[in-house]
Amino acid sequence: MKNYGIKKAAKLSGVSEYTLRAWERRYSIIIPFRSESNRRLYSEYDINKLKLLRKLTERGIQISNLSSLSINDLKGLLNRVDSEIISTDEKYLQLYDIASVDKTINDSLEAIKNFNEKKLLLILHRAYKKSNFLEFVENVLFPVMVKIGYQWKSGLLRIAHEHFTSAVIVKFVLKISSEFEIKNKAPKIVITSPDGQHHDFGAIIGDSLAASEGWKSTYLGVSLSAEDIATAVNQTNSHCIFLSIIYPNDNPRMEAQLLELSKSIHDDVVIIAGGNAVTGYKDILTNINAHIVKTPKHFRDTLKSIRNQIRIDKRENYEKKYL
């Protein structure tokens, strides 16, 4: 099978070299083979998949929404998008207006550079009114935070800009979360980040998404020890834990912390982990049977699956006890 270097792959697929590297780094969508000299080599399969990804992103679908789809799924989705036959479950993939989204993101970045909280809140409010909460998170909040993170690491923005953005977005999201109705018998989830993880944006978004799905959440803040997380889970009789893991991706204490957490909670408590740095701990997360989620929709769908299983378990326990 023929392999292609990154320049040829970019030319054949129509995806720039910069974008190829970004997709690999951020979403692990295409992981090219590495030659002995560490050159990226792309297969025919990779080229075909990249072509599909390019076509779908050109039609206004966020790349983050496509990261977990197989090549057959991508083909089917492209056919449905082109024929404008999109099911209700797939409507989250449609942007209200790609030009409007780009302008929203650019306007947000300008407000952030000037530390203009009032303007940023107004931009976010207008964007939220045009879509549902999941679309707003996927198409506006996450792209903004990714761009801020990239510009900070590149030296284009200061850490103060990143902290300012996180603080404003957290304020905005918490206000939205207060509008969700949570029933008394709702399933329970504890949301936090492990020891050494000091960014709260991912955890706050997870808290809001859980609330939007009708979960009763206990938000613990950031950088919490395994012992403290387990104590909260056990005392609240929670069914689930969401761990936000954003930075760093190489904490040497993380493995011991996650193993301790797994051993300190009931076997039926489900652990979910997500965030930019989650792939750095993939092995240990897999070892403790944690669900790794890549996108807000993936997190939402995982919560739905867990909730359905809770209902099944309750029904089976009732039948064993009374029937």
Angstrom distance (rounded) from CA 194 to CA 180: 26
Q: What pairing do the DSSP bridges indicate for beta strands 3-4 and 40-43?
A: antiparallel
Q: Is 190 left (phi over 0), alpha (psi -120 to 50) or beta?
A: beta
Are both 194 and 313 inside the same structural domain?
Answer: yes
Q: Answer whether residue 116 is part of any domain.
A: yes
Please name which of 286, 283, 282, 276 lies closest in space to residue 25, comparing C-alpha atoms: 276
User: For the whole model, what pTM was predicted?
Assistant: 0.65
Are both 130 and 20 inside the same structural domain?
Answer: no
Strands, E assignment, 115-206 = 188-192
| Domain of residue 219, residue span | 188-318
pLDDT at 91: 42
Place of tokens 């479950």: 89
Assess whether pLDDT exceeds 90 at residue 238.
Answer: yes
pLDDT at 96: 40
Give the mean pLDDT of 262-280.
92
Pick from 191-195, 254-258, 319-323: least confident: 319-323
- What confidence tier does 87 reach under pLDDT thresholds 50, 70, 90? very low
Give the mean pLDDT of 9-31.
85
**Boundary of a domain, candidates 92, 112, 132:** 92
Residue 178: CB atoms within 10 Å: 9
Pick from 6-15, 120-129, 133-142, 265-274: least confident: 133-142
Assess whether pLDDT exceeds 90 at residue 112.
Answer: yes
Give the mean pLDDT of 304-308.
88
316 has which bridge partners?
none
Assess whether pLDDT exceeds 60 at residue 118.
Answer: yes
- In terms of residues, how long is the chain? 323
Q: Answer whether residue 182 is part of any domain.
A: no
Angstrom distance (rounded) from CA 46 to CA 31: 9
Are both 81 and 11 inside the same structural domain?
Answer: yes
Give the mean pLDDT of 83-112.
62
pLDDT at 120: 93
Q: Is 36 left (phi over 0), alpha (psi -120 to 50) or beta?
A: alpha
Question: Is the CB of residue 192 less than 8 Å from the CB of residue 220?
Answer: yes
Give the mean pLDDT of 276-285.
91
pLDDT at 83: 64
- What confidence tier does 271 reach under pLDDT thresholds 50, 70, 90? very high
pLDDT at 95: 41
Assess whether pLDDT exceeds 90 at residue 229.
Answer: yes
Give the mean pLDDT of 155-166.
86
Assess whether pLDDT exceeds 90 at residue 119.
Answer: yes
Q: Which tokens belong to 282?
A: 């993939």
Q: Pick the residue with more confidence: 61 or 90?
A: 61
Are both 83 and 109 inside the same structural domain?
Answer: no
Are both 129 and 230 inside the same structural domain?
Answer: no
pLDDT above 70 coverage of the chain, percent = 89
Assess whether pLDDT exceeds 60 at residue 123.
Answer: yes
Give the list of residues 6+ apart from residue 136 with CB closer than 8 angstroms, or none.
127, 128
189 has which bridge partners?
217, 240
Are both 74 and 196 inside the same structural domain?
Answer: no
pLDDT at 230: 96
Angstrom distance (rounded) from CA 40 to CA 49: 16
**Structural domain count of the chain:** 3
Are both 141 and 203 inside the same structural domain?
Answer: no
**Boundary of a domain, candidates 177, 199, 234:** 177
Chain mean pLDDT for the chain: 84
